[in-house]
Structure 1
Amino acid sequence: MTLAIGSDTLRATISPLGAEMQSLEWQGKPLLWNGDAAFWAGRSPVLFPIVGRAEGDVIAVNGRAAEMKQHGFARRSTFDLVEASETACTFVLSDSDATRAVYPFAFRLSLTHRIAANRLSVTATVENRDDTPMPFGLGFHPAFLWPLPGAEGAHRITLDNRGEPALVRLEGGLIGETKLPSPFVKGALPLTPAQFTEDAMIFPEGAGEGLVYAADTGPRLHFRFENLPNLALWQKPGAPFICIEPWHGMAARAGAGPEIAARPYSLTLAAGDTATFGFSVEVI
């Protein structure tokens, strides 16, 4: 059963499964992808304790190997609701026998969705409750409609920092070694389906802390990112959505081994420490 939060103009529903947002509506119009399984059943999953794929779907922690599917287990896990109001809710996932079998740590992952006026914020807090350092990656994977409701003209991504970050591609689901020329020009990227025939566009660094997704007319979505240095853009070929994915951590590199700590941009959290990550989207 989903939980609804919202303001007079912006409303969202969140499911305990994956603490995943199921809908986001502005002035009664949908902004979030509906999860049609004919294209992609996801809507806005949280990625933990890895982002992306592991070679052979096998990860390791200090030499201990286990099978782990793409993007980790959080998105397939049921979270507990610990706090709720008309405008916010917090769901929590803690370690269990099932998680420790593949990821040998005591942890707590909390996910808070909050709405104020035309702004949604999503905050993830990771706590290492173990007595040893804990490697992990954390990312968000929200899918927004393309085209946006009421929008006309070409849709584009415009980086707040007007940067031109280098592009990398996935090779067999793993991060490629080759840095490609940036598709951004002075921070602007007009979107076309052809850009995604080779899977996601990934920008390991330089995309900055915010961007705008919009068309010539219609709603403009301004995103802000906290502690999420990597950016990916993805569309399932032919699907009417675009995923705007801020991450701290990426897929493994081919041949680099299965250790989570060796994955690009992975973090290692000291015993007892916490780390916070977040994104917001405001309709402007």
Structure 2
Amino acid sequence: MDHTLASGRISAIIKADGAELCSLKNAAGHELLWQAGPAWPRHSPILFPIVGRLKNDELRHRGKAYPMTQHGFARDMPFAWRERTKTSCTLELTDDAASRQRFPFAFRLAIRYAVNDADLDVRFEISNTGDETLPASLGGHPAFNWPLLPELPKEAYAIHFSNDEPAPIRRLKGGLLREKPEPTPIEGKFLALSERLFADDALILDRPASSSIRYAADRGPSIGLHWQGFQQLGIWSKPDGAPFLCLEPWRGFASPLDFDGEFSDKPGIMKTEPGETEILSYRISVG
């Protein structure tokens, strides 16, 4: 079941399956979100309880291994509607017997979408409903059309960061984090976009100085992304002509190539104590 939000400036459609944003249009009715074509069958999946991959696709907890595929299971689960209005909606996923076969922890994940003028606010609340520490990662994965304006070439677009980004970036090998960082392709606050950037998979900023970016060309629609609580940023597309660009705020990242330990000891993991709730959010601004 889908639900539509509208502000007069933008409209958005959210579906219960995966609590996934599946449409984002501006006031002119121009679709900005990738429409899950053959190149990649998703729009904006929720990454939980992991971001990226674990070694051997296994989560280790107290000596036992649990099957856990890339980006976790939330993106393939039906969420329950908790609230639906013309401008906002809240969906919720809680642990059950099936989830505990893959992720042996109690949790409640609530996701709220709200439109306000030309902004779409996405708020995540991850609550520990159990009696032991909850280790998890959480990420957004919105895919935008690239180019946003069909008549423009991809190379007309760039990403503008709110701060200079001199730090090295991280790359993946077989879905796992390579040991050595690489020099960043970002020049100051500016990243020129081209398919060549993604010949080696995603660009991962594991310690970004910025908390917002703007994806734009010299004309046509633009996308602003601002995040709070997230600590990493992934930028991804496929290098074979796929017409989408993913801008991904993360709390966590793939396992390092040499890490094979307890899930709770994995680098980048978020730990929530019993009875506590972590709140993370990002905002998409349509220009």
Is the TM-score greater than 0.5?
Answer: yes
- Once the two structures are superposed, what CA deviation does each residue of 1:223-269 show, in whole Å capped at 9, x if it has no partner? 10111110111002311010001100000111211532233211111
- Paired residues of 1:9 and 1:117 also in contact (CA < 8 A): yes
Q: Is 1:70 equivalent to 2:70 in the alignment?
A: yes
Please give the residue correspondences for 1:157-196 in structure 2 after superposition, counting only pairs within 5 Å. Answer: 157-196=159-198
Match of 2:17 in 1: 17
Supply the AA of the counterpart residue of 2:273. A
Q: Secondary structure at the match of 1:104?
A: coil
TM-score with structure 2 length normalisation? 0.95
Aligned pair in 2 of structure 1 residues 259, 13: CA closer, same or farther (>3 Å)? same
* Post-superposition offset of 1:80: 0.1
User: Hey, what's the Cα distance between the residues in 2 that align with 1:102 and 1:26?
Assistant: 39
* Post-superposition offset of 1:132: 0.5
Match of 1:29 in 2: 30
- Structure 2: runs of 5 or more not aligned: none
* Post-superposition offset of 1:150: 6.3
Supply the AA of the counterpart residue of 1:51. V
- Once the two structures are superposed, what CA deviation does each residue of 1:96-118 show, in whole Å capped at 9, x if it has no partner? 11101111122100011110010
User: Hey, what's the Cα distance between the residues in 1 that align with 2:263 and 2:245?
Assistant: 28
Aligned pair in 2 of structure 1 residues 8, 151: CA closer, same or farther (>3 Å)? farther
- Paired residues of 2:92 and 2:108 also in contact (CA < 8 A): yes
* Post-superposition offset of 1:151: 7.1
User: Hey, what's the Cα distance between the residues in 1 that align with 2:194 and 2:262?
Assistant: 36
User: Hey, what's the Cα distance between the residues in 1 that align with 2:181 and 2:106?
Assistant: 37
Q: Secondary structure at the match of 2:56?
A: helix
Q: Is 1:200 equivalent to 2:202 in the alignment?
A: yes
* Post-superposition offset of 1:61: 2.1
With 256-265 and 57-66 compared, the bigger mean Cα shift is at 256-265
Match of 1:283 in 2: 286
Supply the AA of the counterpart residue of 2:93. L
Q: CA RMSD, aligned part only?
A: 1.3
- Once the two structures are superposed, what CA deviation does each residue of 1:185-234 show, in whole Å capped at 9, x if it has no partner? 11100100011111111110024210110011112221101111101110
User: Hey, what's the Cα distance between the residues in 1 that align with 2:271 and 2:257?
Assistant: 21
* Post-superposition offset of 1:64: 2.3
Please list every run of at least 4 consecutive aligned residues from structure 1 whose deviation after the TM superposition is greater than 6 angstroms.
none
Q: Secondary structure at the match of 2:50?
A: coil
Match of 1:219 in 2: 221
Q: Is 1:148 equivalent to 2:136 in the alignment?
A: no
Q: Is 1:262 equivalent to 2:265 in the alignment?
A: yes
- Paired residues of 2:9 and 2:117 also in contact (CA < 8 A): yes
- Paired residues of 2:106 and 2:134 also in contact (CA < 8 A): no
- Structure 1: runs of 5 or more not aligned: none
Aligned pair in 2 of structure 1 residues 258, 33: CA closer, same or farther (>3 Å)? farther
- Paired residues of 1:151 and 1:219 also in contact (CA < 8 A): no
Supply the AA of the counterpart residue of 2:245. I
User: Hey, what's the Cα distance between the residues in 2 that align with 1:91 and 1:209?
Assistant: 25
User: Which of 250, 256, 274 does residue 271 from structure 1 map onto?
Assistant: 274
- Once the two structures are superposed, what CA deviation does each residue of 1:162-192 show, in whole Å capped at 9, x if it has no partner? 3223111101110011111111111100100
With 126-135 and 249-258 compared, the bigger mean Cα shift is at 249-258
Aligned pair in 2 of structure 1 residues 8, 56: CA closer, same or farther (>3 Å)? same
Q: Secondary structure at the match of 2:196?
A: helix
- Paired residues of 2:15 and 2:21 also in contact (CA < 8 A): yes
Q: Secondary structure at the match of 1:132?
A: coil
TM-score with structure 1 length normalisation? 0.96
Match of 2:82 in 1: 82
User: Hey, what's the Cα distance between the residues in 2 that align with 1:270 and 1:55?
Assistant: 25
Q: Secondary structure at the match of 2:180?
A: coil
With 140-149 and 201-210 compared, the bigger mean Cα shift is at 201-210
With 155-164 and 191-200 compared, the bigger mean Cα shift is at 155-164
Match of 2:40 in 1: 40
User: Hey, what's the Cα distance between the residues in 1 that align with 2:157 and 2:267?
Assistant: 30
Aligned pair in 2 of structure 1 residues 115, 79: CA closer, same or farther (>3 Å)? same
User: Hey, what's the Cα distance between the residues in 2 that align with 1:233 and 1:100?
Assistant: 31
What percentage of residue pairs aligned between the two structures are identical?
37
Q: Secondary structure at the match of 2:279?
A: strand
User: Hey, what's the Cα distance between the residues in 2 that align with 1:149 and 1:181?
Assistant: 31
User: Which of 210, 219, 223 does residue 212 from structure 2 map onto?
Assistant: 210
Match of 1:236 in 2: 238
